[in-house]
């Protein structure tokens, strides 16, 4: 009976240990590859190289469509954006949020967020709505620093994007997307 127990214990150990050792040896040059799939790497790499917009970057193509719509009561701007899926797999753009800054002064004006999540199949382009809400300080900034200007150039900064459950953080240099918005102080 002791021999059978010993043999079964050795078989159990072999069943568990051999595959683990085999996979570890297979990924010995890239142990991170055991946990991070190539799709995750591609999403992070493309976003880290910058979001495209005809500027030659590797990232997904993002283009504003039409002028932004401003609601003075809620201090909210709606900007429709065209988002092209340049990845070789379907994605879901779950969320996007971050700060909006004045390009000229680097002043934080408010927060931007995605209105709704959207699924985008491979190679397709969909439109999403970005909502920007100004702070009280932003309205003061527009009135003093941009007095008399009809439009103000802003940039999305420190944007967090959730694509299919993968969180990517982008600074304003990676985002690279500037927008001309109407001066709400006029």
- Which token pair is 137? 């300080």
| Number of structural domains in the chain | 2
Indicate the pLDDT class of residue 156, thresholds 50, 70 and 90. confident
Indicate if 29 and 41 belong to the same structural domain.
no
Indicate if 110 and 161 belong to the same structural domain.
yes
Indicate if 99 and 170 belong to the same structural domain.
yes
Per-residue pLDDT reduced to its tens digit, 45-69: 766 665 554 444 555 667 788 888 8
Higher-pLDDT residue of 29, 183: 183
Q: In which domain, by residue range, is 19 found?
A: 1-35
Higher-pLDDT residue of 113, 60: 113
Indicate if 72 and 29 belong to the same structural domain.
no
Indicate if 22 and 89 belong to the same structural domain.
no
Residue 60 confidence (pLDDT): 66
The overall average pLDDT reported for the chain is 83
Rounded to two decimals, what is the model's pTM?
A: 0.69
Indicate if 18 and 54 belong to the same structural domain.
no
């Amino acid at each position: 009976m002791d021999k059978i127990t010993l043999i079964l214990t050795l078989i159990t150990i072999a069943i568990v240990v051999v595959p683990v050792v085999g996979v570890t040896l297979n990924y010995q040059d890239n142990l991170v590859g055991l946990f991070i799939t190539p799709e995750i790497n591609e999403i992070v790499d493309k976003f880290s190289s910058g979001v495209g917009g005809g500027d030659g970057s590797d990232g997904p193509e993002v283009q504003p469509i039409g002028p932004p719509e401003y609601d003075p009561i809620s201090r909210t701007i709606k900007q429709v954006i065209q988002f092209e899926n340049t990845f070789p797999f379907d994605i879901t753009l779950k969320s996007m949020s971050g700060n909006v800054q004045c390009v000229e002064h680097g002043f934080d004006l408010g927060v931007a967020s995605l209105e709704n999540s959207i699924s985008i199949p491979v190679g397709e382009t969909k439109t999403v709505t970005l909502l920007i809400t100004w702070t009280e300080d932003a309205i003061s900034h527009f009135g003093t620093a941009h007095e008399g200007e009809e439009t103000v150039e802003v940039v999305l900064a420190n944007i967090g994007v959730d694509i299919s459950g993968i969180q990517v953080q982008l600074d304003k240099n990676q985002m690279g997307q500037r927008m001309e918005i109407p001066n709400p102080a006029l």
